[in-house]
Structures are given as structure tokens and as C-alpha cells.
Structure 1
Amino acid sequence: MTHVGVLGATGAVGQRLIQLLDPHPEFEIACLTASDDSAGRSYRDAAKWRIETPIPDDVADLEVRETDPDAIPDDIDLLFSSLPSSVGERVEPDLCEAGYVVSSNSSNARMADDVPLTIPELNHDHLDLLEVQRDERGWDGALVKNPNCSTITAVPTLAALDTFGLETAHVATLQAVSGGGYSGVTSMEIIDNVLPHIGGEEEKIETESRKLLGNFDGAELDHHDADVAASCNRVPTLDGHLENVWAETSEAITAEDAATAMREAPSLDLHSSPDQFIEVFEEPDRPQPRLDRMVGDGMGVAAGGLRETSNGVQYNCLAHNTLRGAAGASVLNGELLVEQGWV
């Protein structure tokens, strides 16, 4: 059994991590950290639990620790980070230097040259960047990132289309309010409304996509040369990011070609992997957040509305933003780290 800890355990993604990790057959939660205000209290008292399933009894009584290397037990094998990026930027390198392996959902360092940005089904070979990371930074530990929740929705489908030579991708997102956290968007802002800008989201999609689709040659990572552009919108759905994608390829492609490539995108034999990585709907009005965000127990990607354009295809895709797009992505990366022997 791998002993794990959750950094930023009282927040929205931290609570999702606990929900996923508590029943996990390979992981045992042995450490929780949060802000100084929560440290020293039981998790039950420190966390305002908002997940639809009850707070796990064996976690509720754990004492919350400070988010500091000196406060974390030596027998922790793997840390899952849901820290705010400003905190992660400061704390995560110290933890890695102290010898801890960190699977992080925080946005800091995602684009660092020696930090793997990983979707296990797509680019598990990018974990070999950890050899470069350890050599360059002198760490005994390691830092791995999963991408932004909006990026992780579109990129699996784009990777499937890259068989035909992906050249451009234009993405318009319809992002659920849970992506902004519990205090991210007020009811007065979002009810009867759409917010046509989410700070930093466009840049994350445009840069992270090219890194995820890039090739690692054993020494450095070459980013994909596709032109990616994004427009991001916050909409009044609770969970599930729906995205409209226009993709152009160097080779001729039909809607049927695209559907087949997506359906054949391989999954992995990890505990949290969905049986079907990308589920393609024939119905023109699917996928929909309320109906389809839980495909693959919330770890799959849904696509539909495929149609041909002059130079490629247009379609819609959807993923559960706090499961596949955040906590579940970190857990899946953790499973990959264990499988490949980094933990």
C-alpha cells in the first residue's frame, strides 16, 4: 500500500482528491495539509465538506498539518497537490528537494522545460523528463503536473486527430462554475448570464496543448507546432466543461475518420483509467454536461456533433472538470508514477 498525502486538502479539488483516494485499493491517505488557520484541527472541523458523498470516517479525524516539508511524515510515498498556484510555486520545490514525489494539479510550473505535463493515455513517456529534472535540480523527489481542466477536455481528441497531421485547432469553451472553485463566481454574476472571459484560461489551452502533444527525445521536449487558439466562457452549469473545436489537418479527413480515430484512442490499465477513453456520440445534440459528464465514471472524454469543414472537422467535446480535469487527473498521474517505478 502506498502512503499518500493531500496538500490543500480543505479546498474544492482537495476534497475531490480525498473522495477518490479514500476507497482507492493502492493508496492510503496518511497526511493532510492546509493553511495555517486549519493546521492542528481535525479534518472534520477544518474542512467545510461540500462533496455529495459523506466525508470518510477514517479521514475525518486526521489532524491537518502545515503545508511544510518539516510537517510531513517521512513515510509518505506520494503527495497530491491541490494548492493555489502562488503557494505551490513556493512549497512544491521545497517538498521535491526534501525527497517527496508530488503529483500536482496546481498551475505553477506546468510549462517548465523539465516538468512533465502528463495525460497518461497520451504521453506517459514524458515522465522520463524526471531524469532530466532530477539531474538539473538535484532533487531526490520529483514534480509532475496535470494540465488545466479546459486543456484536458480538448487535447485527447486533438491527439486522435494528429494521425492526420494536426495543423490548427480553434477552441471555444463553455466552462462550468465549479472550475472557479466555491468562491470563484458569485450567483449574481453567473445566473442568467455567460461570462465571456476567464483570466489566463486561453493562454493555458494554447500553450499546454502544444506541450502535451509534443515529442520527448530523451533529452528535451519539442512542443507540437500546431497553431492553437482559444476563447473561454463561464456558463451556469455546475460540472462539466463543454467545448466547441474546429481542427484543420494536413491530410484529408472525414467526420467518420475522426470518429474512428477518437474511438480507437487507447486507454490504460490503471485503476482510474476509463474503459473507453473517448466516447463518441452519433446524436448531433450530444455530449451535454448534465447527461454525459460522468462517462467513464467521470474519467472519460465525450465527443460528438462531428462534421466536415473545408480543411478538417468541427465537433464538440466534454469532460468532468473536477474529476478528469483536476483531482482524477492527479490520481491517474500518481498511479502512473507508481506503475513506472518513480514512487
Structure 2
Amino acid sequence: MIKEEESKYFKGRGAQFNPHNKFLKDAYVKEHDEGIDDWAESDHKTTFLFENSKTIVNKVDSPDIGMDYSLNPYQGCEHGCIYCYARNAHQYWGYSAGLDFERKIIVKKDAPVLFKKFLEKKGWDATTISLSGNTDCYQPAERKFKLTRQLLEIALAYKQPIGMITKNSLILRDIDILQEMAKLNLIMVYSSINSLNDKLRLAMEPRTATAKQRLKVVEELSKAGIPMGVMVAPLVPGLSDHEIPAVLKAGANAGAIRAGYTIVRLNGAIAQIFEDWLRKNFPDRFDKVWHMIQSCHSGNVNNSRFGDRMRGDGNIAKMIKDNFKLHCRLNGINVKDIFLDKSQFKVPGAQISLF
């Protein structure tokens, strides 16, 4: 049996079907068009689901992620990036990592209250918190719910250092708060740009800002005194890795002083979703791209070893690494380290002990 949603291409979405959630015993399919049962999966509009969470800040235990704590006001992401590692996490909520991830967005409406509660925990040392470490905090839902802006207002009030990464130009809405945080050395922002090819971007990241808009974000925030970086991630060998020089040059010209990269890894359900997408969008290059990804992960499309799972191994991964380092050097990127100041942290209204 073939699901209805597998039989046609859904424009504006990355994933083209819902792979089975490994945590669920049952799967639902449409067997006959003339069936009288309601078919919930036929509605491909985005829906918002509200969750009363117990916590909002998560400790990151993985040593190669580059962050200690993450804060995510939304689960699922309408951006629909086909490679997104956060897709797998959507299964824990009872949904699929495919289309469900893009159209069933969980809104953590109590995130601001929970954030304040976390910051006021005894012993909190104001370690930098990444917003977001999983899904994009400036995805389309933010325009409606404004949770990210509220979280930034709290961070500024408490003088809590924040790291941010986004591929949405909506961040410019909050330039007023970000500028005040930058004056206190409390903020570092990365714009994620893995390609300047808008045709590729539209297929791979269907509901994101264009590369031109993302570079505008880098330029405008840099001019406002906010330290900016670009994440050339994830690079897809055979599709976007050749753009490293152009992306880094454009980023540096816009004001980026830091840069990072990863090589795509297809763990869990993402492998099935990405393979389907690649066959449908680049059938002539499928074999080449698939084998190049495998060559970066010891013959697999996924590598779970800490240290090289994000950067890959083998000859192609080494060429990507060397190319990235060379063009960072040529463009004066990663010369200066950014250390945010946590010494200013203070709970508003808290009394200072004299003893």
C-alpha cells in the first residue's frame, strides 16, 4: 500500500512523506480514494499544538555540539530543511519525522515563565545558553507567538549570555534587544548559510529566507555592533560543498567574524527522508551524492562517533576541511575568539548578601 502523500510532490515542504514513527506500533495509510473515513493526513496546512512543558533549558551532554545548554521554544519547524537533525526528536512527541515535523509545530507557550524559573535556580552560573540548539527560534511561528522576543527580554534583564543561530530574517525585528545585549557582551549570533544557490535552497530548505536575506541579517546586525558568524552547514558533498569559498567571502564582506561548518549526516529517520528527497530532486546525481556522503562516514550515511560525526572522515571530508580553513584564513574569519561575559548575571530584584 502507498500512502496518498507519497504519490505527489508537495511544493513548499522538504519531506515528501511521513516515515513510520519507530516508537509507535501502528501506522495509518489510505487504501482507497473512495473510503468514507476522514483522512487527517490530507490537510497539509501547518497546525500549532500547545504544550505545557516542565522545563525549557536542556543540558547538552554531547561533547562535539559546541554548546552547553539549549533553549527551544518550538518543537518541529516549518522551515522544512530536509536534512534537519531535529526531525528525529519529533518522534518522541508521537509524530513522524517527515511531513509532521514541518506542519505540526509544538508551541511551548510557557517558555518565558520556565526560563525565568531556570535562571533563578540556586547555583546557576550563567553559562551561555544557545537559542536555539534544536529547531529555529525564528521560524514562521515566532511571528505569531513572539516567544523568542520574550526570552531575549528576560535574558537582557538577567544579563544572561545567549548564543543564537537562525536562517530566518525575522531576527532583524529584535535588533533593539540584541544591540543592548551586545553592548554588555551578552550575545553572539550565527546566520546559517550552506548555499548561495536559491534554486537549491528552495528545494532543500523550502520555507527559509534566501541567502541574500541572510547576508543582509549578517550585515545589519554587524553594523549594529552585534558579533556575527556564518554556519556553512550542513554541507552536502556533491551538491553544496563547492560553495565554501563563495559563502565565506560573502559572509566576511557582510561583516561575519566567525564561521563553522558541518558535513551532513543522515541518522535515524532522516536517512529515509533525505534519500527520497534526493531521488526526486536530483535523480541524475543521486548515486554520486549518496556515495560521497557515505565516503565521509566510513561507508555509511551516518556516523555516531563523537569528534568526527559532524565533520566526517576520509579524503572528501579532509578536502572540505582544508578548503574551509583556507578560505577562513583568506577572508580573515576565526581570527578573533568571542567570549561572552557571564560575570554581570543577576536576578532582578535579588538582594545582595553582605556576609
The alignment's TM-score, normalised by the length of structure 2, stands at 0.31
Greater Rg, structure 1 or structure 2? Answer: 2
As a proportion of its length, which structure holds more strand? 1
The alignment's TM-score, normalised by the length of structure 1, stands at 0.32
